[in-house]
Structure 1
Amino acid sequence: MSDTMRAVEISQPGGPEVLKVTTRPVPQPGHGQVVIRVAWAGVNRPDALQRAGSYAPPPDASDLPGLECSGEVVALGYGVDTLKVGDMVCALLPGGGYAEYVATPAAHCLPVPKGLSLREAACLPETYFTVWSNVFTRGRLQAGERFLVHGGSSGIGTTAIQLAHAFGARVFATAGSEEKCKACTDLGAEMAINYKTADFVKLMQAEGGADLILDMVGGEYIEKNLKSLAEDGRLVQIAFLQGPVAKINFAPMMVRRLTITGSTLRPQSVLAKARIAEDLLAHAWPLLDAGRIAPVMDSTFALADASAAHARMEGGAHIGKIVLEVAGG
């Protein structure tokens, strides 16, 4: 293994064009960590936020973008006894995925599900950790409940639809085109609402309201979401594409016993993310192994074309996940 590696760095805050190929030292595993030779790296919204200068990495994380990957374990840090060199894994990363090698806690690595390629496995960690922790742990979604996810054709949305449907919820989604709406119903949503031509508030109220809403839009959607909830409904916020500020009348929250919560994944502790990994291995991985659910793939780009991958994601036309090919396989 060489001492140096190819990587893509954020040369300065800005648009996709600021992503530049560079050479970096190969990372060394810390206590409880492994080093992975990256085969494929997932592309996610937080990568673009970091690139734009609005989402700084944690102090102890790599400054390179990239929060998930698949590949081969090539080095073990002190105290690692759950993995061995040569294991093929997909992993949640603190950063650094846009590179040939990356270090991450061993507890954040999961086996590549049966029947999935490394390309597909690279799509799993960021979205599955996010959806599981927010929809099932924080949001407490139960079988038979009405679940609404905004951005249903995104990586988060396609994952949330499949998991919620698999666990017996009634799933509703919003998306911005008829093609994207069809992708949502094909995955298990009983209704997909084109937010450009229909009022999701009225449609959800006609269904009795949503018991749980997963939202990444924010802005004016916050008030609309509260109007769309059923009695005792829960709103889980995970991003703010339209901004984090809204004017809300809190009186209906008291009368209708509504709950607003939310979380971000990256700042959580190593232990907290390890617990999410354990839940996924117990509850979601058997569904992936059995082929009952699978990642929805949009497109692939070479590592050196990371800027084009970001442009594709921010253009909004994609359905499912975008990945970078590093070593392939």
Structure 2
Amino acid sequence: MKFLDQVKIYVKAGNGGDGSPSFRREKFIEHGGPDGGDGGNGGSVIFKSVKNLNTLIDYRYQQHHKAERGENGMGQKRTGKSGENLILKVPLGTQVFEEDNKTLIYDFTKPGEKFVAASGGKGGLGNTRFKSSTNRAPRKFTKGTNGEEFTIWLQLKTIADIGIIGLPNAGKSSLLAAVTNANPKIANYQFTTLNPNLGVTSYDNKEITLADIPGLIEGAHEGIGLGIQFLKHIERCKTLLHLIDISNQDLESAYNQVRNELKNYSTELLKKKEIIVLNKVDLIEEKLVKELIEKFSKKIDGEILTLSTLKKQSVLKIKAKLISYAT
């Protein structure tokens, strides 16, 4: 399934049905009179958040969404049938914006939340409603009102407990595959990950969600590379797992490059809890690994873990640490 995190759509609620101007006319019944029923209400357009979606791609191919119109009232005081509501499913983390794509209307953060994007029109009144002691045969009735219609934007910000960040080819997708049930595309070249991937892992009867965020290169916050498209997905994550390829050996430079991009996008990202993991330790000698960690630990403030996703070393330790940070 392709990933899409922003789309513009048109929603139209159903119009209300018209009231009926009917008069009772039956054989062998002397006295007739008004018997027009009310029109049915129009259906509303309602968004509902669900857990099993992680893209807005369905709205790329269908951008116009209309709810049912209410039926007109009928004789014998019969009310027209109301139109069915149109339920549109969206992923957790979806935000609804007005047409300017700046004014936030609603933010879905929990499964099962509902938001009425466009309310259906009210049904019109039949002529029975206007009968009185002074007006025994009213011909007056009202038409149904129009349903609301809007052009809106949907934006998706991935919701995950842990966001995996790092430079391209640091091994983020491999880490996600090693500790969760996800099956991301993995290859030995930059920008393997073109979209955020989600995975779920469990340890000691606790469960968390991880998001593999595409690599952040220098200038990502200005739109260079892929980063600007996905930096917003990090905002939802409770904790950041900063993955660094130890075979590059210039650990401080790799670390600061990603941190600077986070800072330039939003200083709030730097306030999140951070786990630092040095990956691909199997590619260099153990003695050099210890030297690099010792040197790097003097430059930063935080615990440093090591990992080899290729040999599955320390995977359980990483999972336990992730659980402790996210719960």
- TM-score class, shorter-chain normalisation, is under 0.3
Give TM-score scaled by structure 2 length. Answer: 0.24
Specify the structure having the higher radius of gyration (Cα): 2
Higher RCO by CA contacts (8 Å cutoff, separation 6 or greater): 1
Tell me which protein shows more helix as a share of its residues: 1
